Amino acid sequence: MNILTYILAAVFVLAGAMKMMQPKTKLETKMAWVKDVSSWQVKAIATLEALAALALALPLIFDTGLILVPLAATGLVFLMLGAVFTHARLKEIPMIAIPAVLGVLALWVAIWGYTDLIS
């Protein structure tokens, strides 16, 4: 299960870094939803993605603070729900699959993380 967590962390740290480093005008050409939000909102989403990615990976690497893993995964589930609703609102039906799959994987990691803490 750690491999899935590391993969999710890699995806979200890269996605967050991409949104943080590129100007909004460049992101608008790739992502339609960026046109509907302000620059600081894009940077806030990017920061949340990158911080959640770190909170997924670092506790597993250092074997401490393991409660952060399911909490970060839960946060990513909510971010991906927002992404699904945003793509649906913009009628970008094919684009819904990406955040939906990432959200389900994050939910799996969250459930695994909580049950692992209980047992």
User: Each residue of 19-45: pLDDT tens digit?
Assistant: 999 999 999 999 999 999 999 999 999
- CA–CA separation, 25 vs 37, rounded Å? 12
pLDDT at 60 over 90: yes
Q: Do the beta carbons of residue 27 and residue 19 sit within 8 Å?
A: yes
Average pLDDT over residues 100-110: 98
Phi-psi region of 64 (alpha: psi -120 to 50; beta: other; left: phi over 0): beta
Cα 32 from chain centre: 18
In angstroms, how far is CA 64 from the centroid of its own chain? Answer: 22
pTM: 0.94
Neighbours of 8 (CB within 10 A): 22
Q: Identify the band that residue 1 occupies on the pLDDT scale cut at 50, 70 and 90.
A: confident
Neighbours of 116 (CB within 10 A): 12
**Distance (Å, rounded) from C-alpha 42 to C-alpha 16?**
9
pLDDT at 119 over 90: no
Instruction: Tell me the pLDDT tens digit for each residue of 63-101.
Output: 999 999 999 999 999 999 999 999 999 999 999 999 999
